[in-house]
Amino acid sequence: MRDSSLGKLNSRIIRCSLCPRLSDYIKKVGAEKVKRYAQEEYWARPLPSWGDPAARLLIVGLAPAAHGGNRTGRMFTGDSSGDWLMRAMYMAGFASMPTSSSKDDGLVLNDAYITAALKCAPPENRPTSLELGNCSQYLVAELRALQNVRVVLALGRIAFHAYCKAENIRRTFGHGLQITLLDGKTLIASYHPSRQNTNTGRLTWDMWLSVFMKVRSHLSS
């Protein structure tokens, strides 16, 4: 039943056209491409969430990358953020391999499910409040369907506030923040593993890995 509801929801997501600016942008990116991916066919549609339907860990990102998930058809796949995420998830026991290169690479998530505040890549990674509002219905529906979640990891300020809004929580984002929610879940906040954060040292590998060790600790207790 859970698999079925998530599958139907993902089918709705893929067909979504609520945000004309985003629809136009992802199609434009998919048509123009970049030189290094010129021979590839881009996904260029809203991106479904993925992972283990019985997951106890839910990871909420910002949005697909224009030449990452928007190209490959899977969130956190084919870009540097995905490399950081899967390496840490593999080391913490949540992924079957430490890399995420294509949706057909055989990667399997263990006890984890990945979604995003926005299902389409936004220009300059800057969604509008209206676009986030349009997409919030999908996150709310996912939260209802994912009945085993015990830990939510929000990657970045936008993802954190999108989750808080969906759950009617008022808190301020901060890296490393841990909140025990009224329903017993633990919400953990982290900087997003984007190049803007990892290349500048704002998010170091030790900081990043420690987040996943905290997640594993909460699920093991």
- At residue 1, the pLDDT reads 42
pLDDT average, residue stretch 55-64: 98
**pLDDT > 90: percent of the chain:** 96
pLDDT tens digit sequence for 85-103? 999 999 999 999 999 999 9
Contact 85, 71 (CB under 8 A): no
Domain that holds residue 154: 2-220
- At residue 3, the pLDDT reads 64
pLDDT tens digit sequence for 65-75? 999 999 999 99
User: How far is Cα 50 from Cα 133, in angstroms, rounded to an integer?
Assistant: 21
Q: What is the CATH number of the domain that holds 129?
A: 3.40.470.10
**pLDDT > 70: percent of the chain:** 99
Beta bridge partners of 152: 58, 187
Q: Considering the chain, what is the average pLDDT of its residues?
A: 96
Sequence-distant (6+) residues with CB within 8 A of 196 are 202
- At residue 2, the pLDDT reads 56
Which helix (H) or strand (E) segment holds residue 188: the answer is: strand 186-190
pLDDT tens digit sequence for 109-124? 999 999 999 999 999 9
Judge whether residue 25 has pLDDT over 50: yes
- At residue 32, the pLDDT reads 96
pLDDT average, residue stretch 39-48: 97
Q: What is the reported pTM?
A: 0.96
Q: How many domains does the chain have?
A: 1
pLDDT tens digit sequence for 154-194? 999 999 999 999 999 999 999 999 999 999 999 999 999 99
Contact 75, 47 (CB under 8 A): yes
Contact 68, 77 (CB under 8 A): yes
